Amino acid sequence: MRKFSFLIMGDAHLDADFPENNEQRRREQRLAFDKAMSLVSDYAIDYLLVPGDLFDKRNPDRETFSYVMNSFAALEKTKVIIAPGNHDPMTVDSPYRSCEMPGNVYVFPEKRVSFIEFSGRVAPGGRDYLFGSENTSSSYSVRFYGSAFEGHFSRDSMLVSADGKTPRLSGNFINVLVMHGKLVEDDEKSIYNPIPGKVLEACGFDFCAIGSEHSYLRRKNVFNSGILCPRGFLETGDTGVIAGEVTEDSRVRADFIPINAIRYEKMKYDITGLFDLSPDRIADGIKAITDSRDCYLVELTGETGFDESVNAEEVKKRLTGFFPIVDVVDKTVKKADIRLLADEKNFRGAFCSVIWDSVRRRNSAGGASSKKNDDLKKYSEKTHEDAINLCLKLFDSADTADGDAAGSELPVDELPVNEPPAGGLPSGELPNGIGDGADVHEGAPEPEGTAASEDAAALSGSDITDNTDNSKLSLGGPDAADTAADRADEAPPAPSRGGN
């Protein structure tokens, strides 16, 4: 038996600008939005909760805004609750203020926390096929608390008032928070409305619909649905909404529902052992194990012969058109024949000669065969191999670079990491020829965090504005929000594309 149902749709970012295929990407965003609206309609969801960044900008295209509002108006049995985020803040020129809203849409008007109150009775007999629960005939009362960004940034937590107070909840209602902001620990800082986890828990909401994070998150009764439609390879995997219900005994049940209008994925393709390293052969191998409807960032990994190479750019050309978006990166390494390199009459040959002598000493050491000795031998071989690959890259860089570039450093993520065998090396011993005469240092501990902390605000009751008029929220007066221009001198740079 249930009291009411809800669906959380966060971070739709409609009308976002894309560097490539802009119109197609926007069509995918709208497709994801339409799929979410179909879920709401098909399952007669009682409350659609939108915790911010419904639009990607403060002034979205008028056609887009009208399309969204008309879609909401068509949900005759659903009430839509919107908490404007940092991308679509409640500024004085926001369409949330200047445009007429459908009668079933409610928008929190300002940064100060307020609530919207509803009472209802669900007619018995119907069945919710999404959760398998029958409707109850009992009545319920619910309050939705929330606030709005008034600009693109908010360093102070909107959950805590200027005098350090938090919302005072009534036990006669089901209490729900709808808010855009970043969940943080203790005194962690954020410019996107930091919401301290301990403060949120102490408030005692029955459940919380939070927006801002672009991946699905659930912490007890706190739900973040993530981005509705991904915009790049920082937003991989399933994307969608959260659908849930509050049961007769006031328990909250919720599930993540994938929408997947389009998916971005990262994958590694190992070319080790391939006889044919042509771009056609590699591209065909990638196509055989992927879904052409998804976007891929492909890392080519593994080993090639010393005189072989792969052409990532040509592989990408052969995959372009097969996938909506694709990029290919070469992360392969060359398998060097150290015996041949040791005969070269140059610095590289001298280095490889020393390594080759070390390898031969290790292999000729003999000793009884045991798992420990075998592990040590494999560890030694891997260590020598990593040293060779790293130094050959340095030699190649010095041979081919011009001017000062010859001394350039390798990217940190290309430095080899070789874990020792289980049980570690014998005390005081390294594989023969490795680090002879050198000091061995353990990894230095990470420095302790130095983030400044503030005094914790007292968790006492505050006066909460009641915006309920049984039909519509007031959108406030002209001083309810500052314009972006008023904040230009103090605002930090515009938010990055990766999140929020």
CA-wise closest residue to 308 among 330, 287, 335, 289: 335
CA-wise closest residue to 40 among 120, 125, 128, 147: 128
Are residue 211 and residue 284 in the same domain, yes or no? no
Range of the domain at 310: 272-331
Residue 497 lies in a domain: no
**Residue 265 CA to chain centroid, in angstroms?**
13
Averaged pLDDT for residues 324-331:
96
416-438 pLDDT per residue, tens: 444 555 555 444 444 444 333 33
List Cα–Cα distances, 252 to 129, 180, 352, in angstroms: 17, 21, 65
Are residue 368 and residue 472 in the same domain, yes or no? no
Are residue 60 and residue 22 in the same domain, yes or no? yes
Are residue 368 and residue 282 in the same domain, yes or no? no
Which range among 10-14, 198-202, 270-274, 382-386 shows the weakest confidence by mean pLDDT?
A: 382-386
Residue 387 clears pLDDT 80, i.e. is over it:
no
Name the band, by pLDDT with cuts 50, 70 and 90, for residue 339: confident
Are residue 483 and residue 359 in the same domain, yes or no? no
Q: 230 - beta bridge partners?
A: none
Are residue 15 and residue 127 in the same domain, yes or no? yes
Residues 6 or more apart in contact with residue 114 via CB below 8 angstroms: 108, 145, 146, 147, 464, 465, 466, 467
What pTM does this model have? Answer: 0.71
Residue 459 clears pLDDT 60, i.e. is over it:
no
Residue 3 clears pLDDT 60, i.e. is over it:
yes
CA 415 – CA 300 distance, rounded (Å) = 17
Q: What angle do CA 10, 15, 21 make, to 5 degrees?
A: 115
Are residue 344 and residue 379 in the same domain, yes or no? yes
Residues counted in the chain: 500
Structurally, the chain folds into a number of domains equal to: 3
Are residue 6 and residue 32 in the same domain, yes or no? yes
Residue 430 lies in a domain: no
3-class SS of residue 269: strand
Provide the CATH number for the domain around residue 195: 3.60.21.10
- What H or E segment, with its residue span, contains residue 396? helix 371-400
Residue 130 clears pLDDT 80, i.e. is over it:
no
